[in-house]
Amino acid sequence: MIPEFAILGHPNEGKSSVLSTLAEDDSVRVSPIPGETTACRTFPVVVDGREVLRFTDTPGFQNPARVLVELKKRLKEGGDALAEFRRYAQTIPELHDDCELLLPVERGAGIIYVVDGSRPVRNVDRAEMEILRLTGKPRMAVINCKDRDESHLEEWKNEFRKNFNSNRVFNAHRATYAERLALLEALKSIDQDWHQPLSQVVLAFTRDWAARNEATVDIVTTMLLDCLGLELRAPVSGDEEARTRREQLFRRYGEALVTRERQAHEGIRQLFKHNIFDYQLPPHSLVHADLFDERTWQLLGLNKKQVIIAGGLGGAAIGVGLEMAAFGHGLGIFTVAGTVAGALGALFGGESFSGKAELLGMPLGGEELVVGPAKSIELLFVLLNRALLFYRHTINWAHGRRDYQAAAALPDPLRRQVFTDGWSAGNIKICHDFFRTIAKKGEDGTSQRQRFRELLRATLEEISNSEGGAEERD
């Protein structure tokens, strides 16, 4: 048996948003116009190619008082009152929506009744709740506080205790993965016969999420290997040509990093089923910021303590990190170099761009100019923290949420947003060892990569299980 739940309620209470978020399906039409949904539509939830659960979107109640009177009349007559009422209602145009919304309930679907908890309870709501109670089907009430106004919560809960097996507060626009899973867990308790099949659903969801996290580990690790190991070359015949080629090579290098990073983020977005609504993070997000902007490195790189730790682990692997610690500034690389172009040079270990001096560790007077691979572990942490920011925002951007423009208009908070700030010296060493093997291409770095993957996997799990969610300030 594949469990099915019908999402019921008054028009414009957030039914479609709740369904879209629970089913992780952004193809569900979410509209502020009441009465947009006029026919039931079922959305299967598929895991590993197998349907494990169904949610059915329904029209909103239009005439609950009349429906209640007609349903009670048929209950007194005996027989299947719900089926008898639907047969009667099919002949009455003004009862079309009320007849249609009870279709999945008649065929055995459980009920998820959605209300907007930011408003008070009305008599029409009590009529709707009584109708659903009289169906005798397993049912849960969901309080969707659309405007974050919880002043009427207790009033709603008191009413729900009279008519429902269970009730939950669930903001369909801001529900995290942990909150979605908690709601599915709660559904197991609404009827004993549903416990076993829904336990299998929760298990399937949990395994699927773990598989997506593992795929994210693959994407991020591959992106870091590609970016940190990137090496570009250009032929040169003398110092004058070298200066021009240098700028061209730096530009190509930066564009290549941006492309690889964007591809990785797109892969993460698709993993978590954001397929139709290609939302954009706010323009001020650090994920959008120029990768070589000074502020990006200041807010996403190593903190001062970690710079000292990394510097003590191995000379060139920290690169400019020792300079950063010495200058007492989160961005000694820019303080020393003065410009982004100069910072790129420092990033790769260069000392000067004039005469026959070495550029990026290679002689300028020869036949070739070389950029890469990176010699500063700072780049690893900047790319990693940007990927983790994007991951957190993606998993917690509820599929029923549509306020992209409002989120993008929020002010920019100038603060560090670093998942790695609390990492221990042991974790920094794992990153250091992983980074060191990238430059040494002939060295077997399997064990170092595996330890880094384990650290990344644990970090993703911690973010997934956080109740805090993604705030628009990112």
Report phi then psi at 4, rounded to 5: -125, 140
Q: What is the DSSP letter of 93?
A: G
Torsion of CA 184, 186, 190, 196, to 10 degrees: 60
At 461 the pLDDT is: 93
At 338 the pLDDT is: 36
Higher local confidence (pLDDT), 97 or 308: 97
d(CA 254, CA 372): 11
**pLDDT tens, position by position, 154-189:** 999 999 998 998 999 988 888 888 888 899 999 988
pTM: 0.78
Determine the 3-state secondary structure of 143 from DSSP. strand
Query: For residue 39, is it left (φ>0), alpha (ψ between -120 and 50) or beta?
Result: beta
The residue written with tokens 């919304």 in the block is 101
Average pLDDT over residues 69-93: 93
The token pair at 456 is 């990344």
Q: Which of 185, 180, 131 is nearest to 396 (CA)?
A: 180
**pLDDT class of 96 with cuts at 50, 70, 90:** very high
Half-sphere exposure of 159 (CA within 13 A, CB side): 22
Higher local confidence (pLDDT), 254 or 130: 130
**pLDDT tens, position by position, 35-54:** 666 789 999 988 888 899 99
At 226 the pLDDT is: 93
**pLDDT class of 239 with cuts at 50, 70, 90:** low
Amino acid at 251: R
Amino acid at 10: H
Torsion of CA 297, 403, 181, 151, to 10 degrees: 110
Please enumerate in sequence order all residues whose Cβ is within 8 A of that of 237, keeping only pairs 6 or more positions apart, or say none: 367
**pLDDT class of 417 with cuts at 50, 70, 90:** low
**pLDDT tens, position by position, 269-283:** 899 887 655 555 555
At 312 the pLDDT is: 57
Average pLDDT over residues 141-165: 85
Most confident of 101-115, 306-320, 385-399: 101-115
pLDDT at 190 > cutoff 70: yes
Average pLDDT over residues 338-344: 42
The 10 Å Cβ neighbour count of residue 39 is: 12
CA 225 to chain centroid, in Å, comes to 23
d(CA 68, CA 61): 11
Q: What is the DSSP letter of 48?
A: T
pLDDT at 403 > cutoff 50: yes
Q: Which of 186, 4, 19, 7 is nearest to 108 (CA)?
A: 4
Higher local confidence (pLDDT), 242 or 249: 249
d(CA 141, CA 164): 7
The 10 Å Cβ neighbour count of residue 316 is: 13
pLDDT at 27 > cutoff 50: yes
- Give strand ranges (E) for 16-151: 41-47, 50-57, 110-115, 139-143
pLDDT at 336 > cutoff 50: no
Report phi then psi at 141, rounded to 5: -105, 135
At 356 the pLDDT is: 31
Candidate from 251-255, 426-430, 463-467 with smallest mean pLDDT:
463-467
The token pair at 392 is 């957190």
Average pLDDT over residues 383-396: 88
How high is the mean pLDDT of the chain?
Answer: 78
pLDDT at 255 > cutoff 90: no
Query: For residue 78, is it left (φ>0), alpha (ψ between -120 and 50) or beta?
Result: left
The answer to whether 61 touches 101, Cβ cutoff 8 Å, is: yes
pLDDT at 110 > cutoff 50: yes
Report phi then psi at 181, rounded to 5: -65, -40
d(CA 239, CA 236): 8
pLDDT at 414 > cutoff 60: no
Higher local confidence (pLDDT), 99 or 397: 99
What is the torsional sign of CA 12, 16, 17, 18? positive
The answer to whether 173 touches 166, Cβ cutoff 8 Å, is: no
At 95 the pLDDT is: 95
pLDDT at 293 > cutoff 80: no
> For a pLDDT cut of 70, what percent of the chain falls above it?
70
pLDDT at 203 > cutoff 80: yes
At 373 the pLDDT is: 83
Number of H helices, E strands in the chain: 19, 10
Higher local confidence (pLDDT), 31 or 247: 247
d(CA 100, CA 92): 12
Cα three-residue angle 177-289-433, rounded to 5 degrees: 75
**pLDDT class of 398 with cuts at 50, 70, 90:** confident
d(CA 442, CA 263): 27
The answer to whether 311 touches 320, Cβ cutoff 8 Å, is: no
Average pLDDT over residues 12-25: 86
The answer to whether 448 touches 437, Cβ cutoff 8 Å, is: yes
Please enumerate in sequence order all residues whose Cβ is within 8 A of that of 7, keeping only pairs 6 or more positions apart, or say none: 15, 16, 18, 19, 55, 56, 57, 58, 112, 114
